[in-house]
Structure 1
Amino acid sequence: MEIEDWIDEVSGANFAWYIKRLSGNDTQLTGGHQAGPYVPKSLAVELLPQLSDLSLKNPRELVELRVLPDGFDTTANLIYYNNKFHDNPSSGRNETRLTALGGRENPLLDPENTGALTIFAFEYGAPVKCQVWICQNREQEALFEDEFGPVEPSETLVWSPNTKAIIADTKKHLGACSLSVEQIPSEWLVKFPSGLEIIKKSISLRPDLSKSVDERLLRRRDCEFEVFRSVEQAFFFPKVRSGFQNLDEFLAVAQSVLQSRKSRAGKSLEYHAKSILDEEGFVEGIDYEYNPKIEGNKKPDFLFPSVKRYNDGSFPAERLTILAAKTTCKDRWRQILNEADRVPTKHLLTLQEGVSINQYEEMSRSGVRLVVPKKLHKKYPSKIRSEIMTLAEFMTHIKN
């Protein structure tokens, strides 16, 4: 089945969509025992209200599962792990997951699909049916992200006919950076702020200068997400609430929402990395250059130490470094291979939650070294964790 035909098939009012990128834990790349992809509890209960019965421990219901484009069929469980309300109130689980996926033959458990954008289309009924599409390339991902905006690691989107809206599941966000309308700068309610302005706001709310650079990066990214969603709601909801005179007005607002999401995601990781470099004593123009132009029109994200040194043929190539920043790398890491001919090893800062061993070995053979915040290392296979740099280790490498 072609992806366009599948989208038409699951786009009716009887379907709810859940969109995420598969993590290393989802695909059991790390050898963990999470037992299947996380599903937002609100969606699970909407599909199967009986799961909300707290008198039952770990209630579950059958789901007819079909995984595409491979065409793998099985019967899975949608289970509510509710130990928190039974024998382990202090640290028990309180989450829903799709489990009993049929073993390693299921593409959802294929390590090579780690990082892939995946759409779960749940069909209401008895039994509940779920069709899953695992995107095979950037072109397929673009079909969805052009409609809903970028979907980054650990972020998920839910659409259901009851809400009639794309809702970001905030399970992993702390909430401390959410802003009321009164807390949002008044000028932002007139003109939507740039991604850099939102990042500066998130840094002011969560400076975290006493924390490690790895933790600082992740906490600020969470904060930025909350600030962005707060501003998006305050800026666009009044326009939606007041209604539209015609279709063109509606499409214009929808396009503005999508464009603001793309703009925020496109440069976010770069901006955060640059802020942390500056805070750690790296001087732009001396220790590094941001988005420099080299070798014609090539523009790496970060070049160490400078264009002048790079263009100096007598300067040792082993003392040159580039750092690319890409939130996901499954199908994007090859983009950096030709960014700087003189640099034999390209460093890639990513937030992707795992890569397969096969893909990692291909990256290594191509001269790419991953830089991943320390907290995310556990989402990578144990075999390669020692070879992945933390952000702190990368900065030490540059200083030395």
Structure 2
Amino acid sequence: METFLQKAIQSIQSSIISFSKYITANDTGSTGAHQAGFHIHKNSWKLIFPEPGIKGSNKDKYVTIKWQDSFETSSRFIYYGTGTRNEYRLTRFGKGFPFLSDENIGNLLIICKKSDEYYEAFVLKTDEDIDDFFAELNISSTDTNGIIPKQFEQTAAENLYECFLKFLSSLKIDFPTTIELAKNARNCYNNAYSITDKIIKANPDKEILNWLDAEFQLFKTIENDRYLKRIQTPFETVEELVITANTILNRRKSRAGKSLEHHLSEIFNTFSISFASQTVTEDNKKPDFIFPGLDAYLNPKFDNKKLFVLAAKTTCKDRWRQILNEADRVKTKHLFTLQQGISKNQLEEMYKYDVCLVVPKTYLQSFPEEFRSKILTLDGFINEVSTRQ
């Protein structure tokens, strides 16, 4: 039986245009927004209309949407341009619609345009499906809330791309290690855009997202170079096709899994923060980061209040529980994530178990308003750690 993930990918490949986003508290109405309904980023107006909305007037469009390849709704895309509003939304789903409850916050919404009046939509709920979605389409989690590219698009500045090509030509192996990939992407980006330590310290939340995006673009550049000729050549057996596909997908997921850790390490080094990564604590557990280090953690005389543990997970809707027993001496576990939006129930459970989220500053608005004061930005986390060091 085909999964929703497989159906969503097939729908994207055969659609005119497609869109993805994390479902947020603003969509479900948990933030006290004007109304519940999926917010569509202004840059994605092509999903709906032939031209963008004009400030000063509203316009709408009624469509049929088939959800999860199962049931249909008669829904409404609308642009609000009057008064202070300037936004696009998808509304009107009928009674019993299952995807606008708080439990869906943090799930991934995919909308595919099949014709002017007919769309298909899917909601992916598990971390595994969401990670596989990004890997199979070769897009980054930072590319959500926008149009899904159908093919490689060079969006970086010319000098950045030239740096990528120089690195590619210098490689003596098929693929660099994840740490080498992250380092070179970061160096290319910093050199291309004249990013200094001063700039990084002024806005670490912004720069880590820029590094993640640059690394992803570099990875795609290498991947296209390494596999373009191979996929243009017929496979002799199905097994050979499957092996090649699995190799590509596994490498994508492996890179994504380590990327955050590598760039966070560079941020902490820039701020001259003492830390250790991937060290062993109780029961052979390996927390991503311990502050100020393993020696301090293993020293029973060291003040527990000065110890911090940080996990790094791209998505964490289900995986956050994995960090609960990684360091017994540290009561509050911090978790840095690129997840955009988590339901109230899940957030309440996280804080019940002393898990404190850390997210890029621009992602704060995707969480329920009453929890935002409890969520740290990367800059805020760095300030807390630095103060105690």
| TM-score, shorter chain, exceeding 0.5 | yes
Amino acid paired to 2:311: A
Amino acid paired to 1:198: L
Q: What is the rounded CA distance, in whole Å, between the counterparts of 1:72 and 1:244 in structure 2?
A: 38
What's 1:362 paired with? 349
Pick aligned residue for 2:38 from 21, 36, 39: 36
Pick aligned residue for 1:257 from 216, 240, 248: 248
Higher helix share: 2
Pick aligned residue for 1:179 from 161, 170, 188: 161
* RMSD across aligned positions (CA): 4.0
What's 1:210 paired with? 198
Contact 1:24–1:353 (8 Å) recurs in 2: no
Amino acid paired to 1:44: L
Pick aligned residue for 1:381 from 368, 373, 376: 368
Q: Deviations over 1:58-77 (max 9, x none)?
A: 875433224349x7642123
Contact 2:127–2:315 (8 Å) recurs in 1: no
Q: What is the rounded CA distance, in whole Å, between the counterparts of 1:116 and 1:9 in structure 2?
A: 14
Q: What is the rounded CA distance, in whole Å, between the counterparts of 1:55 and 1:23 in structure 2?
A: 23
Q: What is the rounded CA distance, in whole Å, between the counterparts of 2:372 and 2:94 in structure 1?
A: 25
> Which secondary structure does the structure 2 equivalent of 1:293 belong to?
coil
> Which secondary structure does the structure 2 equivalent of 1:185 belong to?
helix
What's 1:137 paired with? 126
Q: Deviations over 1:206-257 (max 9, x none)?
A: 3332322222212222222222222222222232334544444433432332
- The answer to whether 1:341 aligns with 2:331 is no
Amino acid paired to 2:263: H
What's 1:117 paired with? 108
Contact 1:177–1:223 (8 Å) recurs in 2: no
What percent of counterpart residues are identical?
A: 31
Q: CA separation of 1:269/1:176 partners in 2, compared to 1, >3 Å: closer, same or farther?
A: farther
> Which secondary structure does the structure 1 equivalent of 2:338 belong to?
coil
Q: CA separation of 1:27/1:224 partners in 2, compared to 1, >3 Å: closer, same or farther?
A: farther
Contact 1:10–1:121 (8 Å) recurs in 2: no
Q: CA separation of 1:14/1:269 partners in 2, compared to 1, >3 Å: closer, same or farther?
A: closer
> Which secondary structure does the structure 1 equivalent of 2:141 belong to?
coil
Q: What is the rounded CA distance, in whole Å, between the counterparts of 2:275 and 2:12 in structure 1?
A: 52
Structure 1, unmatched stretches of 5+, are 46-50, 160-164
What's 1:48 paired with? none
Pick aligned residue for 2:118 from 111, 128, 134: 128
Contact 1:63–1:128 (8 Å) recurs in 2: yes
What's 1:162 paired with? none
- The answer to whether 1:312 aligns with 2:299 is yes
Q: CA separation of 1:98/1:377 partners in 2, compared to 1, >3 Å: closer, same or farther?
A: closer
Contact 2:53–2:79 (8 Å) recurs in 1: no
Equivalences for 1:1-400 in 2 at 5 Å? 4=3, 7=6, 11=10, 15-16=14-15, 19-32=20-33, 36-38=38-40, 44=47, 51-52=49-50, 61-68=61-68, 73-78=72-77, 99-102=90-93, 106-120=97-111, 124=114, 127-130=117-120, 132-138=121-127, 141=130, 144=133, 147-148=136-137, 152-155=141-144, 167=151, 179=161, 182-188=165-171, 190-207=173-190, 208=195, 209-211=197-199, 212-282=203-273, 287-399=274-386, 400=388
Aligned residues: 370
Structure 2, unmatched stretches of 5+, are none
